[in-house]
Amino acid sequence: MHSHCKSFINTFALQLHMLEVQNPWWLGEPDKSWELFESLPYRVRPNWLEELSMKPFSLNFVVGPRRVGKTLGIKLLIRELVKENPYRVFYFSCDVLEDYKDLLEVLREYLRMRKRKGVKGSFIFLDEVSLVRDWWRALKFLIDSGELRNDVITVTGSISLFVGRQVETFGGRRGHGRDVTVMPLSFRDYYNLFYDDFFPSKGQEVFEDYLETGGYLAHLNGTLRVEELVGLIKADLKALERSTGLAREIMGAVIDKAPSPVSFNSIAKAVGVSPHTARDYIELFEALHLLLQIPYLGGDGKLYPRKERKFALRDPLMARAMELWTRREIERDILYEWVVQEHLYRAFGEVFYYRNSYEVDAIADSLKVEVKSGERAKTGRYPKDVRVLSGKEVPRFLYELPS
């Protein structure tokens, strides 16, 4: 047999093996993730699964921080879908692929296999596809050729899905598809792991735990350490060809100035870089779902984007990771403020602040909230429409916010 024939057969066999390993349900075997899930002390079927479109043709994009539970959520959905016909479900973790050509060949191999099985439409899950160079080219080609017209495709990834504008290349090719953002658990979802109803005494107790562990179920279950979170953030920055050292300095400057409003110029000056560079890194932190930018809303109801803005780390465990990375210490009352700002952002899709003779930490919809807790508690009189929260009132406030 000629050597190039042997090489082709070996490559073909390797691809088939990769497909079978990642889709054990084809062989009538359970996925390891299902067994792991059942062994976890704290487990929940994620609410975000309901946001995905399951109607052909759909191209869904699922984004969020690393280790937030995107893959496990997808695997739980697959467990439900394989009951009808296991060959209708295809999952592939793309971190073993180099470029779009590899991805195209993997997808074509599955399409050939399902044809042999008489399957006409599938649920296709491509996990961490943003790690594959020019991944979008393979998907776009198959969509344009009509080969995926009866399918529901769900793509998961992190930062580079949107930073590289790759998602925008699918304009008019999404069908019923939706964008879904996965974040760590909110305080209410975290609290409901322990209790079905809100009890003030337990609320404060659970909230103190939440400030330590954040909403990462993996951390709560002992399968994620804070150090790993730092490593994953650095890996994302390297993948985007950014300096991890400079990123650490800019994040440190943001923490140093918290919770006060600050300008890009001020951060740039503290680090010794241009305002453009400071802004670039901060927008990357935002796209990584690490940081929330909170702009200024004037008393006239107008947004002033050029004024100083507040920044909030979006989850308490992220804050712990950034403390470790930047060698800073974040005071507890700052965490209180950040958690309130983040939860209002999740509830209403935007959050602002106001500052004049008095300060309002967070404005969202019809709510105006000032958080007063710890040594930094602010004094002064506030208008009647501003809700001033003491530390012990924060847990109930968060619990009662719309989800």
**Confidence at residue 373, expressed as pLDDT on a 0 to 100 scale:** 78
The CA-atom distances, in angstroms, between 350 and each of 38, 113, 238, 355, 363 are: 36, 46, 30, 17, 9
Query: Cis before residue 46, ω within 30 degrees of 0?
Result: no
In the block, which residue shows the tokens 């700052």? Answer: 334
Domains of the chain with bracketed CATH: 3-181 (3.40.50.300), 187-400 (1.10.10.10)
Q: How far apart are the first and last CA of the chain?
A: 63
Can the peptide bond before residue 125 be classed as cis, meaning omega within 30 degrees of 0?
no
Per the listing, tokens 């059942």 go with 38
State the Cα–Cα distance between residues 247 and 80, nearest whole angstrom. Answer: 41
Burial environment of residue 263 by CB neighbours within 10 A (0 to 12, 13 to 18, 19 or more):
middle
pLDDT band (50, 70, 90) for residue 2:
low
Q: What is the pLDDT of residue 132?
A: 86
Q: Are 215 and 185 in contact (CB under 8 A)?
A: yes
Residue 205 makes CB contacts below 8 A (sequence gap 6+) with: none
Model confidence pLDDT, tens digit, residues 56-102: 999 999 999 989 999 999 999 999 999 999 999 999 999 888 899 99
The CB density around residue 137, as the number of other CB atoms within 10 Å, is: 17
Tens-digit pLDDT profile for residues 167-207: 778 888 999 999 999 999 999 999 999 999 999 999 999 99
pTM equals: 0.90
On the 0-12 / 13-18 / 19+ scale of CB atoms within 10 A, 300 is: exposed
- Residue among 186, 159, 323 at smallest CA distance from 254: 323
pLDDT confidence band for 3 (50 / 70 / 90): very low
What's the chain's average pLDDT?
91
**Which residue in the block uniquely carries the two structure tokens 């996925």?**
31
